[in-house]
A and B are shown apart, each in its own frame.
Chain A
Amino acid sequence: MVAAFAAAAALAQATQLVGEVRVEIHGNAATVRWNTDVPTGTRLKISPSALVREPTDRAPTTEHAITVEGLQPNVSYTATVGTARLWLGSKNFSLTDSAAARPPASPATIEPVVAKPPPPARTTWGNIASLPDHFARHGRDFGAKNADDYARMAWEFLQRAKAEGLPAKQDETGVFRVFDPGSGAFAAYNRDQTTKTFFKPGSRDYFARQPGRSIDLKAWK
């Protein structure tokens, strides 16, 4: 018993703050963050409100954060942080304290994730001179705005077909056809994956009547 108490005391003695206590203000709330050199419990006291927060559902950690709400403007608060047994340090702040209110500077600007644009139609459509005619005839099947838009849709259809493994078949010359039973879209592509045509057939068994053997587009790179 004495030995256990001595060990716990030694652990408490060894626990130290790493860096400063940080306070981030969000409206009338504040998030207090701090780090410890060894995993410990988490406890926060806010004075003068006499609020003590000690999450019970949190495992010992070295990265601590607690948010308190309902703080009043123009009041000087002290955030005292610690483990279950020991107070380690404190930080004064108020809701009007701009220094405390400012969150730590982000180390890098986060750029929005932008999908890679599809290649231009001249590289995805097999016979580029014929594209306006295919668009004029079939563009409305997909609500395409113009020939480039239509060509892009045909290219995207192939990418989706590869990702989802839509029904496809390839004939002896390398031409392959793809069909989406859900939307009724059909496309034919040359061996080099440029588009031959893209439309929605009116006959139900059109794809089944096309030449070629079934292929697994998911296996294609």
Chain B
Amino acid sequence: MKHTCPVCGYPDLQEAPRSERSGGSYEICPSCGFQFGVTDDDQGVSYEQWHEAWRAGGMKWSSQQTKPANWDPRTQITRAAGLRKKKR
């Protein structure tokens, strides 16, 4: 089962970014580079702050993994906005 990044909307995370039982997943989103449980819990950066910074930086593919051929950050961010809205 794939999971969606609440920061950038990337739909193919390997684990749930965060769970009540296990906290952050430590997974680094290959799209925006947010590391769940580290970027937030250690560095104190919120999803919104990272999202804005990533967006301002041109929404570049963050990972050394190969970028999917159909990767579309503009479609993703709409999805991410919906996810963050739900959490509020």
Contact = CB atoms under 8 A, between A and B. Distances in A.
Interface of A: 127, 129-130, 132-134, 136-137, 171-173, 175, 188, 196-197, 199, 201-203, 206, 209-211
A89 B21 CA distance: 81
Q: Report whether over half of chain A's contact residues are helix, strand or loop; otherwise say mixed.
A: mixed
B26 A196 contact: yes
A211 B28 contact: no
Q: Report whether over half of chain B's contact residues are helix, strand or loop; otherwise say mixed.
A: loop
Contact of A175 (B22, B33, B38, B44): B22
Contacts of A136: 64
A203 B33 CA distance: 20
B68 to A, nearest CB: 12
A210 B42 contact: no
Contacts of B30: 130, 133
A197 B42 contact: no
Contacts of A211: 21-23
Interface in B13-44: 14, 19, 21-23, 25-28, 30, 33, 35, 37-38, 41-44
Contacts of B41: 203, 206, 209
Closest 5 CB pairs of A and B: A197-B26, A132-B64, A172-B21, A211-B23, A173-B22
A80 to B, nearest CB: 76
Given A127-B14, A132-B64, A206-B41, A137 B22 contact: no
A126 to B, nearest CB: 9
Interface in B33-76: 33, 35, 37-38, 41-44, 62-65
Contacts of A197: 26, 35, 38
Contact of B42 (A134, A171, A203): A203
B21 A171 contact: yes
A173 B42 CA distance: 21
Contact of A130 (B21, B27, B38): B27
A122 to B, nearest CB: 15
